[in-house]
Structure 1
Amino acid sequence: MTNILIVDDDIHILKLVQIHLSEQGYKTFTAKNGIEALEILHKEICDLAVVDVMMPFMDGYTLTQEIRKQCNIPVILLTAKNQIEDKEQGFQAGTDDYLVKPFELKELSFRIKALLRRYDKKLDESIVRVGSTTMNKNSYEVQIGDRTILLPLKEFELLYFLMSKPMQVFSRDHLIEYIWGLDYEGDDRTVDVHIKRLRARFSKLTDDFQIKTVRGVGYSLEAKRE
């Protein structure tokens, strides 16, 4: 499910956009100001943010800059202003799109879908996600909430492979061939050792997934059910 963060100090607009996007099948998180929004982003993985410009404590431009420092997600700015200078400031802050109030909810949906498609193409298959756990094959980082974890190379590749194919069972031989290569001269105990290390690392960090042993066959990554 796609997660969308909505930030607006106008409760009426906040609820209206939340209801509309929930009906479109999105999971929504709401914040009344930038401080609340950043707290949500520390805890939840969001795929897109809809941000109002005029807010107390932190305006939408500043919030957009802070979002850019933390994560690579599209941002749509909502504003009552329609001056070219305001649009310029928004794009300089790092926004991807700009919608002037009052706006049609249907147009907001169109823009959200277009941005998600664009970002999906950018991300390609380099990122996999299960719950709040994200693996990035470009940076070889594992992100759990606001925590970044660096794994030894083979542990990363093994977990990435299993996470990219959840609920599928793979034999030790298959994993050896895919992760270590056909020329590998060790035995299949290597897989068991790496699985044991991954379980030890992540059992205390997250319950997003478990690596299950399928007796007589091999291993499977099971995602937590919502």
Structure 2
Amino acid sequence: MSTEPDTADFVVLHTDGRVVYLSAEPGRPLREAINAYVPNLASRGLGQLRVWFADDFGALGLYTNPLADSVTDRLGYPYDWYGPVALSMEEDVHGVIVPLAGEVRETITELAYALNAGDLAAAARYAPELLDDLMYMSSIDINGRTVYQYKHCDTRRYLNLDMTGQAWRIANADGQMFTRPMDISEAKSFVALTDPQLHSPVIDTPPPLDETHWATHHPPITTLHDDPPF
């Protein structure tokens, strides 16, 4: 039966990108519950996870599953999957299967949005009111997070978002890039010029490298944009 993600026994990743969190009914074996969604069921362990999939999927004529491919690849187990694929936690030493871990659910949420919304996924999820005015420009890596950069069509300012909803302020100077997290409401007001205090087109000037409020200092790189990000 379908349930809330944080209490689900397993999740089914469908070939069309749908994500369904489910739990086995009391007293029903987990394998039997999953077999209702995944035909010709087989499974294998992936570290602390177990993946459930259709065995002999070629003979079944199943469609490819790009979401399952992306999820298991991100978790360190690249594979080409076909048909619906389910994930659960592995049994512990007492034979108990706990609900899906938070980091697994977060990975699935991020990759499902990215698959279904493409490069506009972060903006569509966290700034839908600005979506019609934003253009995707590029993406960069900040401490292992993919940050998507969007330019506002009218103000020409940038909204930088990762798939957790964290906004980022980015400045380039002398071939170096400086980044720090910022509140998403402030970031949206800044890019749309809805806050009078943010109307000044002042460009962020990076502080000396030893100042701690700048979260990240990257080695020299090519400047990302022809015009300033702020």
Q: Same-fold call, TM > 0.5? A: no
TM-score (norm 1): 0.28
TM-score (norm 2): 0.28
